[in-house]
């Protein structure tokens, strides 16, 4: 059966979330910055929307340079915890489309806004069916989160990852096995996923400019220059060969939910009711996968769109709703005692997930 891998890349994720939360930003250049705190715009651009990119603004650029390129742009600080809570929900959507395996190795989140899904079993190796699944994923994310994503589909992770960047934003690209050579050959070697600037410069010094040049180059020469492992990988990657599995990365995954309150409030009873529903949803997801947690994080966003976050780490893994709620309510009480501005949104997130071991301890009760 032909292997089918899907890569999902959220479009300008941080800036898109800010646009969603503040509709008045639509149509304006939005730049999200990782600020150093030393002065007003001291820091680097984390991401920006496509309006900002038309001015030449790019991720990694200093915020002061970005300001010079577009003085009218809206500059916002990174709200990592809030973006993570949105990412948690997006990743749960994506996970639901992956093949079902006892090992769980059919889904792989590689960053806050990117993931691979193995969908070989669900599609039976049919790329036309994979395209339909890709459309379903895009529609569900748009309907539930009001965000867009770009999807790449291929016979392995390498091709799927590269395909997702072809039609951005909000696109979908399918590269089946018979299209790999025509897809890769004309690309510059710097476009091959896994090749950085240093390797690209070295290849160019060797007269290797395109992926086709690399595919036709003598593997012995590549090995002598880059070493055996790297040299063989370069040769295989240029041919679109990638056998790496879609495999969940342990230790970094989280499950979270965030929602808007019926009205802005500081009333602990109203907020606790929403917190209870969110915790129940989180535990339901945890139970379905047989996991436990060790960290609990509560996030609140007030009516002025300022975000506050507090976390607790448990002495041992737990997986009951009672434990989650007890810790979450304690954190919520602290956040309420420190705020005089009404809350608009509240979220709960659990982390340090791991497979459950043995029976419940007294702590879980």
Q: What is the CATH number of the domain that holds 304?
A: 3.30.1490.100
Q: What pLDDT, on the 0 to 100 scale, is given for residue 361?
A: 46
Q: What pLDDT, on the 0 to 100 scale, is given for residue 249?
A: 66
Q: Residue 358 above 60 pLDDT?
A: no
Q: Are residues 122 and 164 in the same domain?
A: yes
Q: Please check whether residue 25 lies inside any domain of the structure.
A: yes
Q: Please check whether residue 75 lies inside any domain of the structure.
A: yes
Structure tokens at 232: 């063989």
**How many distinct structural domains can be found in the chain?**
4
Q: Are residues 39 and 49 in the same domain?
A: yes
Q: Hey, which residues are catalytic here? A: 114
Banded pLDDT at 199 (limits 50, 70, 90)? very high
Query: How many H helices and E strands in the chain?
Result: 14, 13
352 contacts: CB under 8 Å, gap ≥ 6: 251, 293, 294, 295, 313, 317
The C-alpha atoms of residue 57 and residue 49 are separated, in whole angstroms, by 9
- The backbone torsions φ and ψ at residue 136, rounded to the nearest 5 degrees and listed phi first, read -60, -45
Asked if residue 291 lies in contact with residue 354, where contact means CB atoms within 8 angstroms, the answer is yes
Q: Please check whether residue 67 lies inside any domain of the structure.
A: yes
Final residue in a domain of this structure, among 62, 79, 96? 79
The CATH number covering residue 234 comes to 1.10.150.20
Banded pLDDT at 1 (limits 50, 70, 90)? confident
Final residue in a domain of this structure, among 110, 143, 178? 178
Q: Are residues 259 and 349 in the same domain?
A: yes
Q: Are residues 105 and 65 in the same domain?
A: no
Q: Are residues 163 and 223 in the same domain?
A: no
| Span 6-34, average pLDDT | 94
Domain that holds residue 68: 14-79
Q: Which single residue is written with the structure tokens 């370069």? A: 234
- The sign of the CA dihedral 80, 83, 87, 89 is positive
Q: Are residues 309 and 265 in the same domain?
A: yes
Banded pLDDT at 257 (limits 50, 70, 90)? confident
Q: Please check whether residue 229 lies inside any domain of the structure.
A: yes
Banded pLDDT at 365 (limits 50, 70, 90)? very low
By C-alpha distance, which of 227, 207, 205, 130 is closest to 175?
130
Asked if residue 77 lies in contact with residue 244, where contact means CB atoms within 8 angstroms, the answer is no
Q: Please check whether residue 281 lies inside any domain of the structure.
A: yes
Q: Please check whether residue 360 lies inside any domain of the structure.
A: yes
Predicted structure pTM score: 0.75
Q: Please check whether residue 250 lies inside any domain of the structure.
A: no
Q: Please check whether residue 243 lies inside any domain of the structure.
A: no
Q: Are residues 22 and 58 in the same domain?
A: yes
What's the mean pLDDT when you consider all of the chain? Answer: 90
pLDDT in tens, 95-134: 889 997 654 568 998 889 999 999 999 999 999 999 999 9
Q: Residue 364 above 50 pLDDT?
A: no
| Span 296-318, average pLDDT | 87
Q: What pLDDT, on the 0 to 100 scale, is given for residue 37?
A: 62
Final residue in a domain of this structure, among 126, 146, 178? 178
Q: What pLDDT, on the 0 to 100 scale, is given for residue 100?
A: 79
Q: Are residues 96 and 50 in the same domain?
A: no
Q: Residue 192 above 70 pLDDT?
A: yes
């Amino acid at each position: 059966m032909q292997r089918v891998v899907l890569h999902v890349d959220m479009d300008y994720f941080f800036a898109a979330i800010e646009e969603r939360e503040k509709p008045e930003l639509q149509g304006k250049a939005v730049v999200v910055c990782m600020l150093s705190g030393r002065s007003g715009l001291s820091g680097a651009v984390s991401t920006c929307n496509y309006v900002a990119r038309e001015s030449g603004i790019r991720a990694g650029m200093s915020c002061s340079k970005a300001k010079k390129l577009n003085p009218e742009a809206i500059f916002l600080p990174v709200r990592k915890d809030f973006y993570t809570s949105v990412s948690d929900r997006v990743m749960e959507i994506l996970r639901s489309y992956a093949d079902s395996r006892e090992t769980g190795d059919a889904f792989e989140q590689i960053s806050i806004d990117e993931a691979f899904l193995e969908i070989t079993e669900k599609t039976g190796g049919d790329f036309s069916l994979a395209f339909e699944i890709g459309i379903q994923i895009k529609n569900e994310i748009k309907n539930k989160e009001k965000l867009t994503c770009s999807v790449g589909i291929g016979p392995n992770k390498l091709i799927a990852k590269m395909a997702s960047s072809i039609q951005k934003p909000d696109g979908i690209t399918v590269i089946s096995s018979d299209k790999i050579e025509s897809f890769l050959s004309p690309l510059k070697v710097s476009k091959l996923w896994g090749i950085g600037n240093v390797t690209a410069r070295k290849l160019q010094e060797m007269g290797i400019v395109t992926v086709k040049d690399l595919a036709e180059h003598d593997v012995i020469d590549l090995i002598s220059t880059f070493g055996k492992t790297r040299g063989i990988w370069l040769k295989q990657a240029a041919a679109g060969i990638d056998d790496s599995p879609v495999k969940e990365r342990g230790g970094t995954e989280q499950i979270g939910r965030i929602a808007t309150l019926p009205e802005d409030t500081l009333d602990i009873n109203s907020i606790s009711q929403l917190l209870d529903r969110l915790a129940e949803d989180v535990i339901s997801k945890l139970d379905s996968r047989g996991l436990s947690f060790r960290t609990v994080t509560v996030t609140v966003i007030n009516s002025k769109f300022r975000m506050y976050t507090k976390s607790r780490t448990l002495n041992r893994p737990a997986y009951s709703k009672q434990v989650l709620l007890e810790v979450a309510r304690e954190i919520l009480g602290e956040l309420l005692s420190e705020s005089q501005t009404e809350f608009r949104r509240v979220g709960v997130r659990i982390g340090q997930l791991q497979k459950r071991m043995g029976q419940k301890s007294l702590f879980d009760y």
